[in-house]
Amino acid sequence: MSLPSDGRVQLSYQQNDLSFEFAALDYHAPGKNQYAYRLEA
């Protein structure tokens, strides 16, 4: 399964273990990039 461009993924109940890696594309002061993410039910 590839990640669609709209960011939506539909998974079956068996596919219950997933992970992401992400990066902010800002190289001005990369050490100061901060991330926030949220899990919603």
Partner 1 sequence: MVWAITEDHAGELWVGTWTDLYSFDRQAGTFRSYQRPRWSPAAVRSLYGDETGLLWVGTQGAGLYRWDGTRFTSYQPQTSNPHNAAGGFIRSIYTNLALDSGAVWAGTDANGLLRFDRATPGGEFRQYTEKDGLAGNECNVSWLTPTVFCGWPRTGVYPGSIRQRRTFVTTMRGMACTMAKHGLLPEQSRRDVHGCTGGLAAFYPEQIKDNALPPPIAITAFRLLNQPEP
**With binding defined as CB under 8 A, does residue 32 bind partner 1?**
yes
* Closest approach of partner 1 to the CB of residue 2, in Å: 5
* Closest approach of partner 1 to the CB of residue 38, in Å: 13
**With binding defined as CB under 8 A, does residue 1 bind partner 1?**
yes
**With binding defined as CB under 8 A, does residue 28 bind partner 1?**
yes
Q: Evaluate whether 24 touches 33 at the Cβ level (below 8 Å).
A: yes
Q: Binding-site residue total for partner 1 (CB under 8 A)?
A: 21
Question: How would you label 1-40 residue by residue, b for 16+ Cβ within 10 Å and e otherwise?
Answer: eeeeeeeeeeeeeeeeeeeeeeeeeeeeeeeeeeeeeeee
